[in-house]
Amino acid sequence: MNKQPLAITVNGHERQIFVAPYYSLLDTLRDELRLTGTKKGCDEGDCGACTVILDGKPVTSCLVLAMSAQGSDVTTVEGLATPDALHPVQQAFIERGGLQCGYCTPGLIMAAVGLLQDNPRPSAEEVKFAIGGNLCRCTGYTKVVEAILLAADRMASQC
């Protein structure tokens, strides 16, 4: 199938690429841009491993057609850290042991970043709700929730 032009900003860089019209945003990030930090767990919208921030909102990128993201701004897990420092959510995941196999981790981190943009002081219930579409088979979620609350604390006290 003929590829079509797509202009999209990814992690602050404007990209002009060609993608097949049936390609999802997830496949585009991975196959075309080689940003493989975003994971595919199901390709059906059920696991959250592919979560990215699209125009300010967390979305499951497997359910977004790339062409529908024309002109959009996307942040993936690769776009969070600066060369000098991790994002507070990444830092908190490390300190609180919020990851094991790590396959769900980019999606969980992006869901958490999305939450904290809108709601800098979430309760534990609100955190659980925000990651309610993210499956993790390893951690049992306890340390994930703790990590997100720790990051929220630190980010709020910096403002």
Where do contacts with other proteins occur on this chain (CB under 8 A)? 1, 20, 22, 30-31, 34-44, 46-47, 49, 76-78, 80-81, 86, 90-91, 93-97, 99-106, 109, 127-129, 131-145
| Binding partner selected for residue 62 from other proteins, ligand FES, none, CB under the kind-specific 5 to 8 Å limit | ligand FES
Kindly tell me which of 37 and 45 has the beta carbon lying closer to ligand FES: 45
- Number of chain positions touching ligand FES (CB under 6 A): 23
Minimum distance of other proteins from residue 118's CB (angstroms) = 18
3-state secondary structure the chain: CCCEEEEEEECCEEEEEEECCCCEHHHHHHHHCCCCCCCCCCCCCCCCCCEEEECCEEEEHHHCEHHHHCCCEEECHHHCCCCCCCCHHHHHHHHHCCCCCCCCHHHHHHHHHHHHHHCCCCCHHHHHHHCCCCCCCCCCCHHHHHHHHHHHHHHHHHC
Of positions 8, 25, 33, 47, contacts ligand FES by CB under 6 A:
47
Q: Residue 35 binds which one of ligand FES, other proteins, none, with CB within 5 to 8 A depending on kind?
A: other proteins
Binding test (CB under 6 A) with ligand FES, winner from 27, 30, 48, 90: 48
